[in-house]
Structure 1
């Protein structure tokens, strides 16, 4: 059965528009990766460095908050 109702056509057009958008975004991402690789020699390397810095900041904040709660001492049963 070929459902060519107005609703089906609208859904198909919305899906095609979405897929076109995703394709354009992916092409832009690929271009960004190519540019970064050409400039720095790698893409994930730059990402890893940024992620590492973010993680260090997160850990420092967590430790600061944790030490302020008094939970930094662990008691063990005798």
Structure 2
């Protein structure tokens, strides 16, 4: 996986003091996916079973970072 910008992740934990504890897990996730060499969506799902696989071979840019509750209110197809 190619991460275009880590900035969105960093801005989340820096600009929201109540989410500062997210820094370590987000940094660990970033490291893990940067080093991954997945060739199929199934390989992604094998490692991250809750991953959402979007149709039409989309490239995913991290445009939103939030809590589970906040994520449940967005439409990942349009963000």
TM-score, normalising length: structure 2: 0.28
Q: Which has the higher helix share?
A: 1
Which has the higher relative contact order, 1 or 2, with Cα contacts under 8 A spaced 6 or more apart?
A: 2
TM-score norm. by structure 1 comes to 0.28
